[in-house]
Structure 1
Amino acid sequence: MSKKQIYTLEYPVRCSPAILYEFLSTPAGLQEWFADKVDERDNVFSFSWNGGTPDKAELIEKELDKYVRYRWLHLAKEEYFEFRIEKTEITNQTILVIKDFAEKGEIKDQSQLWEYQVKDLFHRLGN
C-alpha cells in the first residue's frame, strides 16, 4: 500500500479549453512544455528529459476539452496524475486543475516542480 497522498493545484489560464486540452493530451502539445521528447503508442506515452531513459505513462481516462488522466507505469496502480479543465461560473475563466500523488513530506517540492512546468506551459500559451 502506498503512503502517498493526492494533492491538487489550480492555475487560472487565459485560453480556450480546446487549446489547453491539446497541450495536455497530445504528444506534440506535451512536448511543448512537459518533457523534452514525447512519443505515444497504443495510449502509452513516453516522456524523456535531457536525453535520459524515457518514463512511460498510460493514458487511462480522458474527456475531450475536460480532462486527461495518466498513470506512470513504474508506480502503484492507484496513483495517477490528472489535468482537468474547469470554467468558473461567475467569470467564465478557464482553470487548469492538476491532481498528483506524493508522499506528505514531498508535496511542497512536487508542487514547485509543477509550478515550474506550468510556467513553461503558460509561456507557450502566451499567458
Structure 2
Amino acid sequence: MSSKVRIDLEFPIHASPSFLFQYISTPDSMGEWFADNVNSRGKKYTFMWNDSEEVADRLAQKTDVFIRFKWEEDEDEDSYFELRIEVDDLTKDVSLLVIDFAEEDEVEDSKMFWENQIAELKHVIGG
C-alpha cells in the first residue's frame, strides 16, 4: 500500500483563537462550514455530505490550539487531519493551519477541498 503525502496549508483568519476553536471543534459549528451536518458521541464524529457519511475519531485536542481527527475508514495508520490555530507573536495575526494526508494522485483534490471549506468557514465567521 502506498503511503500518503502530507499536505500543509495555512489560511489567515480574522478571528480570535477561542472563537475560531469553537468553529473547528463543535459539531454544530462544524456543520456550518465543514459538512452539511455533524454529530458527535464522545470522541466519534459523524460528518454528513448530501448522501455520504464519514465517521472520524477525535484523536487529540487542546482548547484554542488544535483538534486532530482520523477517518475510521482510513487504513493508513499514520494519517489524520488536524486543524491548528497559530498566532503570530509579533503581529497577533491568527492563522488556521490544516494538516492532512492524501494519496499522491489526490493531493490537488484535497487541497481544493480544504480551500473551499476554509473559504466557507471565513464566510460563516466573517473572517
TM category, shorter: over 0.9
Matched residue type, 1:38: V
Name 1:54's counterpart in structure 2: 53
Name the SS for the 2:110 alignment partner.
helix
Name 2:78's counterpart in structure 1: 78
TM-score in terms of structure 1 length: 0.95
1:38-53 equivalence runs, <5 A:
38-50=38-50, 52-53=51-52
1:69-108 equivalence runs, <5 A:
69-75=68-74, 76-108=76-108
Question: Cα 1:103–1:53, aligned 2, differ >3 Å: closer, same or farther?
Answer: closer
Matched residue type, 1:74: E
Write the deviation string for residues 3-50 of structure 1: whole angstroms up to 9, x where unpaired: 211110000000000010000001011001000010000210000001
Name the SS for the 2:31 alignment partner.
helix
Matched residue type, 2:77: K
Of residues 100-109 and 82-91 in structure 1, the stretch that sits farther from structure 2 once superposed is 100-109
Q: Which runs of 5+ in 2 are unaligned?
A: none
Q: Which runs of 5+ in 1 are unaligned?
A: none
Name 2:12's counterpart in structure 1: 12
Name 1:65's counterpart in structure 2: 64
TM-score in terms of structure 2 length: 0.95
Number of equivalences: 126
Q: What percentage of aligned pairs have identical amino acids?
A: 37
Name 1:31's counterpart in structure 2: 31
Matched residue type, 1:14: H
